[in-house]
Amino acid sequence: MQATPGRLLLRLLENRNHVKRSFYHKQALTNAAVQKKRVELFNKEAKRQAAFITDVEKITVKYCDQPEECTLVMNKNMSTPYNCAQHINQNILERSVLAEIDGQVWDMHRPIEDNCTLRFLHFRQQDPYYVNKAFWRSASIMLGAVLESAFKENLYVELCSFPSPNVRSGSFVYDVDLKIPSWEPTKDELRSLSAEMVKLSMAGHRFERLEVDASLALKMFADNQYKKRQVPFIAAQSSSGNSVVVYKMGNFVEISRGPMISNTGHLGKVSIVGVHPIQTEEGQLFRIQGVALPKGIMLNHFSYGLLEERATQLNSGRFPSIPSLDKPLPNHQARA
């Protein structure tokens, strides 16, 4: 019988007894409760920041691409590239993954800050470098969301981090603390994780960006031993020296500098194919790996199977290194 997400570790926990029972008796946290708290903090801060915009100031946005150039009058710090696309063309709206504001890669749902020129980026352009990186990064975050939700409620999952996206690696990745010493997932369990990724894609959740003070980020991730230690070092590398960029996707909140794809619906065919135990300075974590195609990009079964086979190999991305007071977080991790 195919495993369902709620039963992914049922066999592991009950039949193999991989986890110490005492841990569960002491463990009061649940991932659902922590997710709810983070979303509430995110929404409250987004509302607070929006309240500061009391006057509507107009800006001009010059669109410089096909089917024809045009100039839009939009609202400063309120209108987004997505809103601009709504005024231009339905096809552009649906295919655009990222925007380019005065040459800077920009999230589709990030408000525009001043007069500017605008282009849209998509998967079929001649050089999709930035789009591909955003796609891989977003797939990793979606995988993190799945891992935080797919296991039994008495298994408190702590996400650690993911290496900087590298399409040439052949897989997107998330490193996670599952609180179990070993796990060799069955094909059904991997298929269940893949099915959860598909559900996220079908939901079409937007990636909503928010820059917050480090103190709020610490509140958001107070229940994650890895991320709360990363926050001060990430904040120190920000332009203000004290801010952290977070994204909300559905009921999941994550730290990342971005940018992200416009919404989860850009994810097409996807497979979670590998679980590797990795030894880090913090002990053992699991590196969960997957492969995916953008929506609308098609491969035959044989070719996609080759991608899946390649993605099962341990991704060579750098293992997590959690900062301490005398050891800053490596730049590639702090700005994933």
**Lowest-confidence region among 8-22, 74-88, 204-218, 267-281:** 8-22
* Average pLDDT over all residues of the chain: 89
Residue 40 lies in a domain: no
What is the pTM (predicted TM-score) of this model? 0.89
Q: Is residue 334 situated within a structural domain?
A: no
* pLDDT tens, residue by residue, 146-199: 999 998 877 899 999 998 888 889 999 999 999 988 999 999 999 999 999 999
Percent of the chain clearing pLDDT 90 (strictly above): 75
**How large a percentage of the chain has pLDDT more than 70?**
88
Residues 85 and 157 in one domain: no
CATH number for the domain that contains residue 69: 3.10.20.30
Q: Classify 107 as helix, strand or coil.
A: coil
What lies within 8 Å, CB to CB, of 328 at 6+ separation is 233, 236
The pLDDT value recorded for residue 191 is 96
pLDDT, tens digit, 9 for 90 and up, residues 296-322: 999 999 999 999 999 999 998 888 877
Residue 261 lies in a domain: yes
Residue 39 lies in a domain: no
For residue 246, being part of any structural domain is answered with: yes
Same-domain pairing of 243 and 286: yes
Decide which of 111, 127, 143 is a domain's last residue: 127
pLDDT in tens, 37-96: 999 999 999 999 999 998 999 999 999 988 889 999 999 999 999 999 999 999 999 999
Amino acid, single-letter form, for residue 21: R
> 118-130: per-residue pLDDT in tens?
999 999 999 999 9
Residues 121 and 206 in one domain: no
On whether both 101 and 182 belong to a single domain, the answer is no
Residue 22 lies in a domain: no
In the 3-class helix/strand/coil scheme, how is 117-168 assigned residue by residue? Answer: EEEEECCCCCCCHHHHHHHHHHHHHHHHHHHHHCCCCCCCCEEEECCCCCHH
**Is the same domain home to 122 and 133?**
no
Number of domains in the chain: 2
Question: Can you count the helices (H) and strands (E) in the chain?
Answer: 11, 12
Statement to judge: residues 264 and 290 lie in one domain: yes
Between 333 and 292, the more confident residue is 292
User: Looking at the structure, do residues 261 and 164 belong to the same domain, yes or no?
Assistant: yes
Quick one: 305 and 156 in the same domain?
yes
Q: Is residue 177 part of a domain?
A: yes
Neighbours of 303 (CB within 10 A): 10
168: in domain: yes
Identify the domain boundary among 80, 107, 127.
Answer: 127
Q: Locate tokens 């990636």: which residue?
A: 207
* Rounded (5°) CA angle 263-269-274: 105
> 207 and 157 share a domain?
yes
In whole angstroms, what is the distance from residue 239 CA to residue 247 CA? 18
Q: Which helix (H) or strand (E) holds 86?
A: helix 81-88
Domain assignment of residue 192, given as a range? 129-312
